[in-house]
Chain A
């Protein structure tokens, strides 16, 4: 059982503080949602968890299974079992998805023998089909000439291959149509149930959270968690809007 704990996290970019003391916890086998408007600090939180060089932690800590990971590099954090699904996944010219994943798997599990490439391809093709991506994604450059929605689906493919303990997905739902959103949500639930993956889902909209039924939902506003609720919170937000709910919380 793994726990990722964010404790009183203060983060600055170019000496300007963006997160002002964030506290939250993600456990394996659980889904946590985090909602908030543009600019509330959600993506900053995600990038900081992964040690992006532009984001400086000025106070607080990030603990993985009780140990601080602040002095670990991005790749070390990944190899410990963390995964970040990107809001805008990057295209890598000439590097095939299959080569990329096999390189990553080899680095993550250096002592294990890599799966037979034919079996690996067969499994990958099946998974691509499940999320509605063309088979040729395997042999194309990672995200090369892919639409926003395709890139998001490809993030799920990567997640399934790398089998993280905790996954942070930054707006995995943006750019997806309703059917695609459903299949991504199903994949998340399956990973949680079959592999005990813990999720932090960052989103603007309630739909992803309605499908995935999170154990806990946080509301973020101006660099702080202002509210913690259950899977009812997204619905509340949908009805009242961010403005009213934030006003209600911050006034009280």
Chain B
């Protein structure tokens, strides 16, 4: 059995391209670095102020005292906060530098775009190198740009929403992102427009010790409907990288936003992401959140149900193999009457991998007739693997219907015997059980991604062999 997964794991997206930056800040973080980033981007003065204030907050705010101790070992001066390879997002893959294009081709992005996506953004370290929305969707008035472009072209949306869903003082990593943010997606779906094909952004970290701090803002106007998918990978390095994104969603009256994540960072990435949605009257927000990669992930997508009849759903899976800790969960705040939520969290831990579910359900005093269901299922593959469930509830009404179910299971010897008696070797049997366990999640993915998810699990099983 492999004992050093960082070196041995056959992570298929672990190659790196040469670090041919056209612009980059030095390692480490200070005011100067923040000013450089803002200057490189030629930003309005208010954004520089926003960044500098956020940096101050970042310095002032203490590191969270909870969560994996690994969190408190991050050396912020060993990270490069900005690196770009190309000056602007291209609209044609042929104009993307060949090395970078080749990376995205290996990851299957242009192919997926041709087959089933309505728009694609590709971010490479700090900047977006490719961005394209299908012409018919553009004609419907949909905006899909990198957040930097969005800031230049649509400042009115930034005045109204940027940093309002997740203010810089929300937590230390939101403050960090607000200070050094770069890239991410900016999407506006106009009133009543339904986007029937997913829009996707693909995030790739390339350079060593680089941090990626994308900032995504999605606004779904009244009665609109959009599905956004993000994927992410990075080269496998023996030193750590940092990914600290901020994602803000605004679903106005009657709108629906589905946000799907397939997180497959390499095992040296700290993935510390703040994701939050405001759901107004009768809006629906769904976070479909898959965490397979990274060294440590801490991410709790949240939904603030702000208007009557709003609904929020979080469906998340976490797979923690050797050396990984997936600390994930969800936060739902019922702030208006007749709001409903559902959280389904499923996790698998393997080897010394660890999963933690951390969740909060809050019901405000004015929120009558709230219904909320939480289901957490954990599957442990070995004797060493661990899983914790940490649910919080703050219910300030008597008429709320709140249910919470949690199960922790191990794979039974008889189940393995049954599958093996049909000719499945141990690792195939395990992979099949894991895929079945994640099926409620997989069935919500576009087929190509469901296949990819299964392939990742099979790869992990094949790499480490069966349980020892």
Contacts and interface: CB of A to CB of B under 8 A. Distances in A.
Is this pair of chains taken from one and the same complex? yes
Interface of A: 47, 50, 52-54, 73-75, 77-79, 83-84, 86, 89-90, 92-95, 100, 103-104, 107-108, 141, 158, 162
Contacts of A83: 421
A75 B439 contact: no
Instruction: Give the interface centre of B412, B415, B422, B425 by most chain A CB atoms within 10 Å.
Output: B422
Contact of B432 (A73, A79, A92): A92
B418 A89 contact: yes
B108 interface: no
13 contacts: A50-B417, A52-B417, A54-B413, A75-B426, A75-B429, A90-B415, A92-B415, A92-B419, A92-B432, A94-B437, A95-B435, A100-B432, A104-B423
Interface string B422-446: 1111101100110111111000000
Nearest to B413: A53
Interface in B128-153: none
B422 A158 contact: yes
A100 B420 CA distance: 11
Contacts of B415: 90, 92
Given A83-B421, A92-B433, 19 more contacts: A52-B417, A73-B420, A73-B425, A75-B420, A75-B421, A75-B424, A75-B425, A78-B420, A84-B421, A90-B414, A90-B418, A92-B415, A94-B437, A95-B433, A100-B422, A103-B428, A104-B422, A104-B424, A107-B423
Q: Which residue among B432, B433, B435 has the maximum number of chain A CB atoms within 10 Å of its CB?
A: B432
Contacts of B440: 94
Contacts of A53: 413, 417
Contact of A162 (B417, B422, B439): B422
B377 to A, nearest CB: 9
Contacts of B423: 75, 78-79, 104, 107-108, 162
Contacts of A47: 417
Interface string B25-53: 00000000000000000000000000000
Given A92-B415, A94-B439, A103 B420 contact: no
B209 to A, nearest CB: 39
A93 B432 contact: no
A210 B433 CA distance: 38
Contact of B436 (A52, A54, A95): A95
A50 B432 contact: no
A107 B414 contact: no
A83 B420 CA distance: 10
A95 B424 CA distance: 14
Contact of B421 (A50, A93, A107, A108): A50
A74 B432 contact: no
Contacts of A86: 418, 421
Nearest to B418: A90
A90 B412 CA distance: 10
Given A54-B413, A90-B415, A92-B432, A107 B424 contact: yes
Contacts of B432: 92, 95, 100, 103
Interface residues of B, number: 24
Contacts of A162: 422-423
Nearest to A46: B421
Contacts of B422: 75, 78, 100, 104, 158, 162
Interface in B379-429: 412-415, 417-426, 428-429
A191 B421 CA distance: 19
A84 B420 CA distance: 10
A164 to B, nearest CB: 10
B420 to A, nearest CB: 4
A240 B418 CA distance: 36
B296 to A, nearest CB: 27
Contacts of B421: 50, 74-75, 77-78, 83-84, 86
Which of B412, B414, B423, B437 neighbours the largest number of chain A CB atoms within 10 Å of its CB?
A: B423
A162 B413 CA distance: 22
A167 to B, nearest CB: 11
A107 B419 CA distance: 12
B205 to A, nearest CB: 32
Contacts of A90: 412, 414-415, 418
B419 to A, nearest CB: 7
A78 B419 CA distance: 10
Q: Give me the 3 closest cross-chain CB pairs, A-B, nearest first.
A: A94-B439, A94-B436, A95-B436
A95 B439 contact: yes
A78 B429 CA distance: 13
A119 B421 CA distance: 25
Nearest to A79: B423
Contacts of B414: 90
A78 to B, nearest CB: 4
Interface string B182-199: 000000000000000000
Contacts of A103: 424, 428, 432
Contacts of B437: 93-94
A74 B420 contact: yes
A47 B424 CA distance: 16
A94 B413 contact: no
A107 B418 contact: no
B409 to A, nearest CB: 9
B436 A92 contact: yes
A162 B424 CA distance: 12
Contacts of B413: 53-54
